[in-house]
Amino acid sequence: MGPEGRHAIVIGGGASGVLLAFQLLKTSPPNFRVTLIEKRSEIGRGLAYHAGNPEHLLNVRVSNMSALPDDPEHFWTWLCARPGGPQCPDPYCFVPRQTYGDYLAELIAPLKARDGAQGLTIIRDECIAIQENASGVTVALAEGAPLTGTLAVLATGHDAAASRLPRHADPWASPADAGIDSNATVLILGTGLSMVDYVLSLLRHGHQGRIVAMSRRGLLPRAHRRVEAMRLGEGEIPFGARIGVLLSWFRRRIAIHVAEGGDWRSAIDAVRPFTQRLWQELPPESRRRFLEHARAWWDVHRHRTAPEVEARIAEALSTGRLTVIPGKLVTVVPNTDRALVRYRRRGRSELSELEIGAIVDCTGIVRDPGASSNPAVRSLLDAGHARIDPLRIGIDVTPDCAIVDRLGSPSRRLYAIGPLTRAAFWEIIAVPDIRQQCAELAARIRNRDP
């Protein structure tokens, strides 16, 4: 170790970056410091936990949202200690996502470096390039001077796509800021959790016009219920089987459980501790088939909404405020202040038309890192320090989170965590998985040779 000690640079201060920084510093050796680079004004919020709409609730119950894998009560205890209490009766509840952002910001605050030598330094800037050399890494910033460190961890998370559609509104901004005519029809592309968020935001802002949500199959996310995970032994699961065999086994298992009076959610929850291993042992062709044919089904059952949110959406559907169309957008022709949308309903050959005032692309998270506009990710790909996995759903990393270069060699100094690593882990989107990944990577980084 040099006299200045070891220095980890974490790029991205959303949930993943914060959880990693916390794990790195909670029992760090002397002369260990962390710099967290975040381009937004706030730490710990990212795309999910910003201080926007308080009706946007967590999609995971409080009891599963502790930041610390070895202290499952941590978030609930924090909520209970707040002035005003937890605002829900027990840990099986769904608090506003902005509250979770407060929790993460508070978690990390005491770690901030006081003497500049150890601890955490937070820099508000955008990382525009990362370079690795024999003795360390150099991280270039949009505004500040370049930083040098021992290693860098990419925690850049979700990449929000810029829509090129006419009359589009930003799905991550408030409808009030988009200037949407409150009587106009709004078309939302996608029928998943982001669509649900946007519908709640439109209703909150008094939108009176129709809201139409469209996706290929028109599947809506299911909701949580108070159920315990079913008992599932590791030995029962056909690891390594082709996807057809695996899904038949799983459907059969769910049917038995439901026939015995159980809830399908218990079966989905029972398989969760094994999903990373299932993914890693799936034959490559089966992974592709899963993404093509079963992913939409899996997503709506696995990524569920709070029951309160389900009730709001059910009401919007029953009163006709919201319509869901299974179909595909074909063209958008703008006119003076509206646009004419042509789409094909699922199973039909003829086109249908809809006049809309705005389109909101809620499918808009970039899933192919090759299409990423994030300069940090781009710089690694362009220099060959990273490569895209064969399914094009993430960058290639080892099970230890080391970034694999163009020639297939894992880096000793460059790592990635969170959604960017989904090719290796698949289930690495939500906090229960990310917190575990961060704890394990932090332990390896702390224990490694410089």
Ligand X SMILES: Cc1cc2nc3c(=O)[nH]c(=O)nc-3n(C[C@H](O)[C@H](O)[C@H](O)COP(=O)(O)OP(=O)(O)OC[C@H]3O[C@@H](n4cnc5c(N)ncnc54)[C@H](O)[C@@H]3O)c2cc1C
Instruction: Return d(Cα 132, Cα 144) in angstroms, integer.
Output: 19
Residue 119, C-beta contacts closer than 8 angstroms, at least 6 positions apart: 25, 33, 34, 111, 112, 113
Query: Of 99 and 286, which has the nearer Cβ to ligand X?
Result: 99
Query: Of 7 and 257, which has the nearer Cβ to ligand X?
Result: 7
Locate 204 and state its tokens: 């909150």
User: Least distance (Å) from ligand X to the CB of residue 382?
Assistant: 14
How many beta carbons lie within 10 A of that of residue 135, not counting itself?
10
Per the CB < 8 A criterion, the answer to whether 189 and 359 are in contact is: yes
Instruction: Return d(Cα 304, Cα 358) in angstroms, integer.
Output: 27
How many beta carbons lie within 10 A of that of residue 411, not counting itself?
20
Query: Of 107 and 341, which has the nearer Cβ to ligand X?
Result: 107
Locate 296 and state its tokens: 């939409």
Closest CA to 274 of 257, 296, 249, 297: 249
Closest CA to 148 of 341, 2, 22: 2
Q: Element (H or E) spanning 382, and its range?
A: helix 375-382
Q: How far is CA 351 from CA 168, 338, 366, in A?
A: 21, 19, 28
SS3 323: strand
User: Least distance (Å) from ligand X to the CB of residue 345?
Assistant: 28
User: Least distance (Å) from ligand X to the CB of residue 267?
Assistant: 20
Query: Of 36 and 184, which has the nearer Cβ to ligand X?
Result: 36
Query: Of 123 and 339, which has the nearer Cβ to ligand X?
Result: 123
Q: Which residues bind ligand X (CB under 6 A)?
A: 11-17, 37-40, 46-48, 58-60, 97, 126-127, 155-158, 194, 197, 374-376, 418-419, 429-431
E strands along 286-443, which residues? 322-334, 339-345, 352-356, 358-361, 402-404, 410-416
Query: Of 104 and 332, which has the nearer Cβ to ligand X?
Result: 104
User: Least distance (Å) from ligand X to the CB of residue 18?
Assistant: 7
Instruction: Return d(Cα 57, Cα 100) in angstroms, integer.
Output: 9
Strand 402-404 relative to strand 410-416, pairing: antiparallel
Query: Of 354 and 402, which has the nearer Cβ to ligand X?
Result: 402
User: Least distance (Å) from ligand X to the CB of residue 12?
Assistant: 3
Per the CB < 8 A criterion, the answer to whether 418 and 21 are in contact is: no
- Partners of 424 in beta bridges: none
User: Least distance (Å) from ligand X to the CB of residue 194?
Assistant: 6
Query: Of 45 and 257, which has the nearer Cβ to ligand X?
Result: 45
User: Least distance (Å) from ligand X to the CB of residue 184?
Assistant: 24
User: Least distance (Å) from ligand X to the CB of residue 432?
Assistant: 6
Q: What is the DSSP string of 114-156?
A: SSSSSEEEEEES-EEEEEE-SS-EEEEESSS--EEESEEEE--
Query: Of 9 and 332, which has the nearer Cβ to ligand X?
Result: 9
Q: What is the DSSP letter of 85?
A: -
User: Least distance (Å) from ligand X to the CB of residue 407?
Assistant: 24
User: Least distance (Å) from ligand X to the CB of residue 113?
Assistant: 19
User: Least distance (Å) from ligand X to the CB of residue 387?
Assistant: 19
Q: Element (H or E) spanning 267, and its range?
A: helix 264-271
Query: Of 25 and 127, which has the nearer Cβ to ligand X?
Result: 127
Query: Of 102 and 126, which has the nearer Cβ to ligand X?
Result: 126
Locate 252 and state its tokens: 């059969």
